[in-house]
Amino acid sequence: MVSENAAPEKPQATAPSSSILGDATNTYNMGLARGQFQPDVACPAKHFATEQRVALAIPAPPSEAEMDVAALQSENPQHVSEYAQDIFGILKREEPVLLPSPTYMERQVHINAKMRAILIDWLVDVHKKYKLRPETLFLSVNLIDRYLDSQVTAQRQLQLVGVTALMIAAKFEEVYPPQVKDFVYVTDKAYTREDILKMEVSILKVLQFKICRPTAMHFLERYQSANGCTDAHRDLGQYLLELSLVEYKMIKYAPSHLAAAAILLSNKLLRRPSWTPASVRHTAMTEAMLKECAKEMCMVLEAVDANPLKAVKNKFSQQKHHSVAKLNFVAIPASQTALATSSARERRPSTAIVSRGSIGGAMELV
């Protein structure tokens, strides 16, 4: 049977660019010599421009403060609402087990956090090209971090580890995972089929075949339902999570903590009630517990335009994701936040929520 996720046609060769990655991929030209990663990346923080403020009309959320997630999902048998509470109890119990160390990069002598960021940025693009599930991407990054936590890896092998981890995650999560030849293709044949299969054996041995681990995506949907998120709001929460996925410093937070912080920050940016009793009940976390993580996530969002790694932003700039990456969360003084909010409310229809929240205002509140 031919996989429905067939490899895309190979694009025409283009001149090498001076960007971070080179021609080690056929998904987009990133200017890196085969299988090589260059760590020299500058990512200065920069406030968003104050002009071209864009408003996105989002339907008002349901009015019930205490939303029963099981009742909301009871009509969809795939949500198995009868067992949801037990399932998430097990996920929370298993979550602390086998988490990668937040300091594992200190033991790596050939690679660093910037190289990891370049790798994951590339994997986001590969993941998008093959239309894989979000769970596949998050699981692949979990496998990469756990492998690097246990195994010192050469620089020339890092991309091989990444593409093989994506293949393992796809086998676990996808109905029709890409074939090995597809993963050879996206590396522009920097590695052979045998290289990938040998690395697959190595990863599975190092991880002792323990592949199924809770990721932030496992918690995000349930938390979004408890929060009463609209489709656009859901995409904003996932955008914040995927931006955090690229940042090495964010692995110090547990997956459920990251998912809850993404909901909290998206609420503040959209000027919704930040953390309702329903959210506290379903996450077992208070706003104070999430404050530090949400603040770091907000800093990642603020620096996205200055960051040369654009795969996540490009992905969420698409209309299918409600173009949430194009929302211009303007950094304005906190003293002006109330006035700006009041003026916006006068201009917008009563049935819409202005999505142009303030990063400056959000960081004041977080």
pLDDT digits (tens, 9 = 90+) for 245-263: 999 999 999 999 999 999 9
Tokens of 155: 């620089």
- Asked if 232 contacts 266 with a C-beta cutoff of 8 angstroms, the reply is no
Between CA 276 and CA 96 the distance in angstroms is: 25
Handedness of CA 115, 119, 120, 124 (dihedral sign): positive
> Tell me: the pLDDT tens digits for 284-293?
899 999 999 9
Burial 287-308, CB ≥16 within 10 A → b, else e = bebbeebbebbbebbbbbeebe
Q: pLDDT (tens digit, 9 = 90+) per residue, 317-363? A: 999 999 999 988 754 344 333 333 343 444 333 323 334 445 555 54
Other CB atoms within 10 A of residue 199 CB: 21
Distance of CA 79 to the CA centre of its chain: 22
Pick the CATH number of 216-365 from 3.40.50.1820, 1.10.472.10, 1.10.10.60, 3.30.450.20: 1.10.472.10
Look at residue 245 in the predicted model and tell me its pLDDT. Answer: 96
The residue with tokens 């408003």 is: 55
pLDDT value at 2 more than 90: no
> Among 27-31, 146-150, 202-206, whose mean pLDDT is lowest?
27-31
- Structure pTM? 0.74
Three-state DSSP class for 60?
A: coil
Which residues 6+ apart lie within 8 Å of 234 measured at CB?
Answer: 224
Q: Residue 248 corresponds to which tokens in the numbers above?
A: 């090495």
pLDDT band at 215 (very low <50, low <70, confident <90, very high): very high
Taking the C-alpha atoms of residue 290 and residue 89, their distance in angstroms, rounded to an integer, is 20
Measuring CA to CA, which residue among 330, 341, 325, 317 is closest to residue 363?
Answer: 330
CA angle 48, 51, 52 (to 5 degrees): 100
For the record, the structure tokens of 66 come out as 């205490």
Residues 19, 116 contacting (CB under 8 angstroms): no
CATH 1.10.472.10 fits 104-206, yes or no: yes
Residue among 254, 196, 231 at smallest CA distance from 355: 231
Among 37-41, 75-79, 289-293, which range has the highest average pLDDT?
289-293
Q: Decide whether 104-206 matches 216-365 in CATH topology.
A: yes
What are the tens digits of pLDDT across the range 117-132? 999 999 999 999 999 9
Domain ranges of the chain: 104-206, 216-365
pLDDT value of residue 89? 82
Q: What angle do CA 231, 89, 290 make, to 5 degrees?
A: 60
User: Averaged over 2-20, what is the pLDDT?
Assistant: 44
Who has greater pLDDT, 246 or 83?
Answer: 246
Q: What band does 73 get if pLDDT is binned at 50, 70 and 90?
A: low
